[in-house]
Amino acid sequence: MVLQLLLLAGGLVLLVKGADWLVDGASVLAKKNKVSDLAIGLTIVAFGTSAPELVVNVVAASEGYSDIVFGNIIGSNNFNLFVILGIAGIITPLYVQSSTVWKEIPFSFLAALFLLFLVNNYFFGSSGLLSRYDAALLLVFFIAFLVYVATQLKTDPNIEVVVAKDYTTLKIWVLIFAGLGGLVLGGKLVVDNAVAMAQSLGVSEKIIGLTIVAAGTSLPELATSVVAAMKRNADIAIGNIVGSNIFNIFLILGVSGLIRPLNFQSSFNTDIYLIMGGTLFLFLAMFIGKKHRLDRWQAFVLLSFYLLYTGYLVGLEM
């Protein structure tokens, strides 16, 4: 058990460092090719902070661990919403751009709603299953989101091009490949040892996925949003979370479902409702108190609710 715990922790460290190296290398490569910081933030950084979830889910899906796949994504989205935004909002009130309030936050809500419909066969498909057809639909919506992001870039008058000069081409590619290697090895360690711990402790894969794996793979989002909040950059703090939640459902579950059809436990529905409720709360918070701002007390409500719910989940397993 001690060895499994150490290997799990080592896997999480590799995931975080791998994502960090990948984002750094890809960002500098983009800058050297005169791509704007805004484009990097909306694409490379958003994908980079979701890379641990992607790698863990690819490994879990290929090995047939459906509960880890769903638990990781659903749990990560809830961790992002309630814990990371909660901590960031307690550090400093977070002001949000109007476009995020009216477009990205509703898009994130619709992503969770669409997933709920797919896996429960509310309008088509197979109940209790994310089929390859369902996964393809998720990827279609992901492409639609990318088109929206591209449209936003074209209409943004404040794009500033920054050219990086501090990194050699060799260093850039070493960072990128080292990051990819860390993500692959870290993902394998996390999945294998999380499953082994669940089996030895008699704890379900679902709970391990919703808690340990989800929190671990959300560490890049946590670091990014907390640092952004400390630097009073609310757009990154909230945009990172909302964007990652969209990536997680449409891209990562889409890729996972293409690898192998995934069995879905109806007990996960409660956690999807939690994502939807948290996203709705975030939207309403933009109009309660100061307009377009997540206040400290609202952030505290988010964090407290998650801690209570997690305690309830663990209590059910004991």
DSSP for 281-292? HHHHHTTSSSTT
Residue with tokens 């999807």: 272
How crowded is residue 155: how many other Cβ atoms within 10 Å of its Cβ?
Answer: 7
pTM: 0.79
Contact between 115 and 249 (Cβ < 8 Å)? yes
- Each residue of 146-187: pLDDT tens digit? 888 777 655 545 545 455 556 788 888 888 888 878 877 887
Reduce the DSSP state of residue 8 to 3 states and report it.
helix
Contact between 140 and 255 (Cβ < 8 Å)? no
pLDDT at 269: 93
Contact between 238 and 94 (Cβ < 8 Å)? yes
pLDDT at 47: 74
Identify which has the larger pLDDT, 219 or 275: 275
Mean pLDDT, the chain, whole residue set: 81
CA Rg value for the chain: 19
Contact between 92 and 229 (Cβ < 8 Å)? yes
Identify which has the larger pLDDT, 270 or 236: 270
Residue type, 94: L
Structural domain count, the chain: 1
Residue with tokens 């109009």: 287
Identify which has the larger pLDDT, 40 or 259: 259
pLDDT at 261: 92
pLDDT at 284: 92
Identify which has the larger pLDDT, 127 or 128: 128
Percent of the chain with pLDDT over 70: 86
- Each residue of 53-91: pLDDT tens digit? 888 888 889 988 898 899 889 989 999 999 989 998 999
Identify which has the larger pLDDT, 271 or 18: 271
3-class SS letters over 110-153: HHHHHHHHHHCCCCCCCCCEECHHHHHHHHHHHHHHHHHHHHHH
End-to-end CA distance of the chain: 18
10-14, 185-189, 261-265: which is most confident: 261-265
Helix, strand, coil percent content, the chain, rounded in steps of 5: 80, 5, 15
Instruction: CATH number of the domain at 24, please.
Output: 1.20.1420.30
Q: Looking at 191-282, which runs of residues are DSSP E strands?
A: 262-263
What's the whole-number mean pLDDT along residues 17-27? 75
- Each residue of 225-241: pLDDT tens digit? 777 788 777 776 787 78
Q: How far is C-alpha 271 from the chain's CA centre?
A: 15
Closest CA to 105 of 246, 234, 214: 246
Task: Give residue 85's domain range.
Answer: 2-317
pLDDT at 159: 47
Contact between 70 and 264 (Cβ < 8 Å)? yes
How far are the Cα atoms of 4, 8, 249 from residue 1, in angstroms, in the given order?
A: 5, 10, 32
Confidence label for 282 from pLDDT (cuts 50, 70 and 90): very high
